[in-house]
Amino acid sequence: MKPGMSFGITEQEIETVLRRNMASVVVSQDKPIALLAMEIYRELDSHDQDRVTQAAIKAGKDLDDQTDSVLDEIRAMLVERGIIRPGLSSGHAEHR
């Protein structure tokens, strides 16, 4: 979590989204996924953080629902940045 953020996006969450969508990742440039996640994390700004915070709030009080919502929002941000091709997500079953 970046300093000053109440609900933070972590490199691990970004890495999780990238790994779940490996077939759709278009900008890896043969980088390890962990390195790509770190680079993406460093580019995040307060708008990105606000989006993820709002996604978690809208998901309600259930932690699994919040996690799913946050990962979906991170995926949407990566699609918008052209890092992941649009399309169906590979799902959330892995973390439950």
- Bridge partners of 84, per DSSP, are 25
**Would residue 24 count as lying in a domain?**
yes
**Would residue 87 count as lying in a domain?**
no
pTM more than 0.95: no
Q: What is the pLDDT of residue 6?
A: 52
Domains contained in the chain, number: 1
> DSSP string covering 30-90, please?
T--HHHHHHHHHHT--HHHHHHHHHHHHHT-S-HHHHHHHHHHHHHHHHHHTTSB-SS---
Q: Is the pLDDT of residue 93 over 70?
A: no
Q: What is the pLDDT of residue 18?
A: 96
- pLDDT tens for each residue of 29-82: 688 999 999 999 999 999 999 999 999 999 999 999 999 999 999 999 999 999
**Would residue 88 count as lying in a domain?**
no
Q: What is the pLDDT of residue 27?
A: 77
**Would residue 65 count as lying in a domain?**
yes
Domain extent, residue 76, equals 11-82
**Would residue 3 count as lying in a domain?**
no
